[in-house]
Amino acid sequence: MKVLFQLFLTFARIGGFTFGGGYAMLPMIQSEIVERKKWATEEEIMNYYAVSQCTPGVIAVNTATFVGYKLRGGVGAVAATVGVVTPSVIIILIIAAFIRNFLEYDAVRYALNGINVAVAVLVLNAVINLWKKGVKNIFGYIMFAIALAFSIFTDWSPIFVVIGAILFGIVYGVYSGRKAGKGK
Amino acid sequence: MNVFLALMLEFFKIGLFAIGGGLATLPFLYEIANKYDWLDVSVMSDMIAVSESTPGPIGVNMATYCGYNAGFSEAGVAGGIAGGILSTFALVLPSVIIVIIVSKVLERFKNSTLVDNAFKGLRPAVCGLIAAACYDVFKSACLETELFKESDNLSKLFDIKALILFVILFLLTRKFKKIHPIFIIIPAAIVGILFKM
C-alpha cells in the first residue's frame, strides 16, 4: 500500500512539473525514478519511451503506466497513471473555470519564457545522459544521426523511425552474431 | 446523444488511435468540433495554447479542457468538472490496458535475443528523437527565427537574455548533476518575470 501511494505521489510530482509534453518529462523521470527511487534503470526507461512512441495514447502517460506495472503490476500501473494526470486535471479545471485569460497576463508569459529555457537545458542534459548510456558504437552513431535527421527535416511520424530502428537492430544483431560465431 | 456519453466515446477513440503523443490528438479534436455543437473551432487555438503552457502531458490537458467546455455548456461548472474528469479517464483507459498487455508480452520475451537486438537498435534512435525535440525546445526558447527571417541580420537571431540564462543553467546542471529539475524550473520562471523575458 505504501509503495502504491509513493507511486501516485512521485508521478503526481512528475506530472505537475512537466512543461511541454512527453519528452520534457524525461529529466523529471531520470531524477525521480532512476536516481532517487531507483525504481528502474536508465536503459529500462529508454525502452519504455521507445515502446510508448508506437503504442497509442499520450507518451508521458504510457511511460508512467510502464513503470507502475513493473513495480506493482496492474494496481501499480493504475496508481502511477492516476498520479501523472491528477495535477493536469486540477490545474486545467481551475484555469477553465476561473482564469480563462491567464495567458494574457505579462507575468505568466515572462515566467513561461523562463521555464522554456529551463526545459531546453533539462532536455539537453537528458540527451547527454542517454548518449552516454545508449550510443556506444558506430552502429549507435548511425542510428542516432538517422533518427535526428528524420525528425528535424521531415514531417514523418516518429513511429516510422521506431519501426525502422527495430528492423535495423534485428538485422545488425544477426550480422554481428554471425561474425562473432565465425571468430570462435 | 448525451454530451457526457459522447465525450467518453470520442476521447476513448482518441486514446485508442492517436499514436505519437499529445499533438497527434489534434486532428481528432477538429473532427469532434465538426461533428458536435459543444466544441467550437474558434476556442481550439486558445485550448491548445493553454494546454501547451500548463504543466502535464499536452494530450491530457486538452482532454480535460475540452471536457470542461462541453460539460459546462450542458450543466454549468459542475457539469464542466464532471466532463473534464470523464474525458481524461476515457483518454487514458485504452492506453493503460494496452501498455499492461505490452508489458506482459515483453516480460515473457525478456530473454529473447530478437527483442534484445530490437532494443539495441531502438535506444540510439530514441536518443536521436529526443535530441530533435531538444533542438525544437531550444529554438522556441532562445532563437528568434521570425525576426531573423524578416531582418536577415544574424545578430537578431539570438534572444540574448534567454541565451545567457541557458548557458548559466546548463553550467549549473553540469556542475551539480544531481540537482532536482524543480530547482531549475522554478528559479528560471522567477528570472523570466524579473527580467521580462
Q: Residues B58, B127: one domain?
A: no
Which helix or strand (DSSP H or E) is residue A71 part of?
Answer: helix A59-98
| Beta carbons within 10 angstroms of residue B43's beta carbon | 15
Contact B52, A115 (CB under 8 A): no
CA–CA separation, A29 vs B90, rounded Å? 25
Tell whether the model's pLDDT for residue B170 goes beyond 90: yes
DSSP letter for each residue of chain B? --HHHHHHHHHHHHHHH-BSSGGGGHHHHHHHHHH-TTS-HHHHHHHHHHHHHSBS-HHHHHHHHHHHHHHHHHHHHHHHHHHHHHHHHHHHHHHHHHHHHHHHHHHHTTT-HHHHHHHHHHHHHHHHHHHHHHHHHHHHHHB-HHHHHHH--GGGSB-HHHHHHHHHHHHHHHHSTT--THHHHHHHHHHHHHTT-
Question: Looking at residue B1, what is its pLDDT?
Answer: 65
Number of domains in chain B: 2
Does the ipTM exceed 0.90?
no
**Residue at which a domain ends, from B77, B108, B139:** B108
Asked whether residue A48 is assigned to any structural domain, the reply reads yes
Q: Residues B12, B38: one domain?
A: yes
Tell whether the model's pLDDT for residue B58 goes beyond 90: no
Asked whether residue A22 is assigned to any structural domain, the reply reads yes
Interface residue A138 vs chain B (CB under 8 A): no
Tell whether the model's pLDDT for residue A183 goes beyond 60: no
| Beta carbons within 10 angstroms of residue B148's beta carbon | 15
pLDDT band at B20 (very low <50, low <70, confident <90, very high): low
Contact A69 B99 (CB under 8 A): yes
- What are the tens digits of pLDDT across the range A110-130? 998 999 899 899 889 888 988
β-bridge mates for residue A56, sequence order = B19
List the one residue out of A25, A118, A35 whose CA is nearest residue B130: A25
Question: Looking at residue A78, what is its pLDDT?
Answer: 96
Mean pLDDT over all residues of chain B? 88
Q: Residues A86, A108: one domain?
A: yes
- What is the mean pLDDT of the segment spanning B131-154? 83
Contact A28, A11 (CB under 8 A): no
Number of domains in chain A: 2
Q: Residue B59: closest CA among chain A residues belongs to which residue?
A: A58
Contact B193 A107 (CB under 8 A): yes
Tell whether the model's pLDDT for residue B156 goes beyond 80: no
Question: Looking at residue A184, what is its pLDDT?
Answer: 42
Q: Residues A57, A93: one domain?
A: yes
Q: Residues A157, A68: one domain?
A: no
- What are the tens digits of pLDDT across the range A125-174? 888 988 888 788 999 999 999 999 998 898 877 788 888 999 999 999 98
| Beta carbons within 10 angstroms of residue A151's beta carbon | 23
Asked whether residue A88 is assigned to any structural domain, the reply reads yes
**Residue at which a domain ends, from B56, B80, B108:** B108
Question: Looking at residue B163, what is its pLDDT?
Answer: 94
The CB-side HSE value for B148 (13 A sphere, CA atoms) comes to 11
**Residue at which a domain ends, from A122, A145, A174:** A122
pLDDT band at A23 (very low <50, low <70, confident <90, very high): confident
What are the cell numbers at B142?
532562445
**Cα torsion B90, A67, B55, B142: sign:** negative
% of chain A beyond a pLDDT of 70: 96
Question: Looking at residue B99, what is its pLDDT?
Answer: 93
**Residue at which a domain ends, from B108, B140, B163:** B108
Contact A123 B16 (CB under 8 A): no
- What is the mean pLDDT of the segment spanning A66-87? 95
Question: Looking at residue A56, what is its pLDDT?
Answer: 83
Domain that holds residue B49: 3-108
Interface test with B, best of A71, A82, A104, A121 (most B CBs within 10 A): A121
Q: Residues A53, A90: one domain?
A: yes
What are the cell numbers at A101?
485569460
Contact A131 B127 (CB under 8 A): yes
Question: Looking at residue A181, what is its pLDDT?
Answer: 64
How far, in Å, are A43, A79, B163 from residue A73 at the CA level?
20, 10, 44
Tell whether the model's pLDDT for residue B192 goes beyond 80: yes
Which residue has 534567454 as its cell numbers? B162
Roughly how many angstroms between the first and final C-alpha of chain B, as a whole number? 47
Domain that holds residue A70: 2-122
In the stretch 48-77 of chain B, residues with CB closer than 8 A to chain A read 49-61, 64-65, 68-69, 72, 77
Q: Residues A101, A37: one domain?
A: yes
- Angle of CA points A59, B41, B81, to nearest 5°: 65
- What are the tens digits of pLDDT across the range B68-107? 999 998 889 999 999 999 999 999 999 999 999 999 998 8
Question: Looking at residue B22, what is its pLDDT?
Answer: 63
Contact B181 A177 (CB under 8 A): no
Tell whether the model's pLDDT for residue B35 goes beyond 90: no
Q: Which residues of A touch B19 (CB under 8 A)?
A: 53-57, 157, 159
Tell whether the model's pLDDT for residue A65 goes beyond 60: yes
Q: How far is the alpha carbon of A70 from chain B, nearest alpha carbon, in Å?
A: 8
% of chain A beyond a pLDDT of 90: 46
